[in-house]
């Protein structure tokens, strides 16, 4: 059985699209659950009209996902973004099929953006360098490794999640460290509503560095130097977003990717052996 989980905040114009896809993908015993993350619009009403169960939840993507996990008992949870406008395929159906037909514990939906000018700046400027430094066992999880479309076995969802947009980086790392296996599912081209979130890159980095400290990959005393490194990337990302003619801003962004990291002495115990899977 699957629980399709859609965390939604102020998505009244789009939420019905992914709800209808999930309802079409659902099989007997599955649930389609929208967590309305403190919306101030008609998101909840539109989701219910499209066929979903709705929970009134807290603000924050990770907090909404955690509420859905606590409310469900299915062996698999399939997390979906609420801002889907259109897609080549039924996204939840593809993820469900990939999960039940394979052996992986974590299915990540990779896709191309309908807007060809989309830049995954937080992914390659912040997330990928930090993962390579502290958690190389995570490996390559597609071009869109922070995807909001993913299916996960429940047994890998036992620990507390960050309440914010750092939740995807947390899941990638915590599942890999626990010994979970991952597979990438190609979803074709997806159009979605873009909304700039200025704190996202810091939330992604914060979740990752929290895990590095927790798993003895980073000494707490060295955390400020890594925070400063993140600040440099965040400034470059903000420059790209704020600039209409983006050539110079993009040059600064790529330069930020190449900037030196703090000394490797910051890593105090790098082990690529998976830790025991949660019960």
Higher pLDDT among residues 258 and 238, named by residue: 238
The pLDDT value given to residue 266: 46
Which superfamily, per CATH, for 83-266? Answer: Spore Coat Polysaccharide Biosynthesis Protein SpsA; Chain A (3.90.550.10)
The pLDDT value given to residue 194: 77
176's enclosing H/E stretch is helix 167-177
Supply the DSSP string of 104-166, one letter for each residue: -SEEEEEEEESSTT---HHIIIIIHHHHHHH-GGG----TTTT-S-EEEEGGG--SPPPSSTT
- In whole angstroms, what is the distance from residue 146 CA to residue 171 CA? 9
pLDDT at residue 122 is higher than 80? yes
7's enclosing H/E stretch is strand 2-8
At 5-15, the pLDDT tens digits run 999 999 999 99
The pLDDT value given to residue 217: 97
């Amino acid at each position: 059985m699957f629980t399709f989980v859609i965390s939604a905040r102020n998505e009244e114009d789009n939420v019905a699209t992914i709800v209808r896809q999930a309802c079409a993908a659902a099989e007997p015993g599955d649930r389609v659950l929208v967590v309305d993350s403190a919306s101030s619009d008609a998101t909840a009403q539109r989701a219910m009209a499209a066929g979903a169960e709705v929970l009134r939840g807290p603000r924050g993507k990770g907090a909404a996902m955690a509420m859905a996990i606590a409310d469900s008992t299915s062996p698999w949870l399939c997390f979906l973004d609420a801002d889907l406008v259109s897609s080549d395929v039924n996204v939840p159906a593809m993820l469900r099929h990939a999960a039940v037909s394979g052996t992986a514990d974590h299915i990540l939906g990779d896709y191309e953006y309908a807007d060809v000018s989309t830049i995954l700046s937080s992914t390659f400027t912040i997330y990928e360098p930090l993962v390579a430094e502290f958690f190389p066992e995570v490996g390559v999880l597609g071009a869109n490794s922070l995807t909001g479309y993913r299916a996960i076995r429940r047994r890998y969802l036992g620990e507390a999640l960050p309440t914010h947009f750092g939740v995807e980086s947390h899941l990638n790392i915590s599942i890999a460290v626990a010994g979970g296996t991952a597979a990438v599912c190609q979803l074709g081209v997806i159009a979605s509503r873009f909304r700039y979130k200025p704190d996202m890159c810091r939330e992604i980095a914060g979740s990752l560095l929290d895990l590095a400290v927790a798993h003895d990959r980073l000494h707490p005393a060295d955390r400020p130097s890594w925070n400063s490194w993140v600040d440099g990337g965040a400034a470059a990302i903000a420059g790209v977003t704020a600039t209409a003619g983006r050539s110079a801003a993009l040059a600064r962004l790529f330069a930020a990717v190449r900037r030196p990291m703090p000394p490797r002495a910051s890593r105090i115990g790098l082990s690529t052996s998976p830790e025991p899977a949660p019960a």
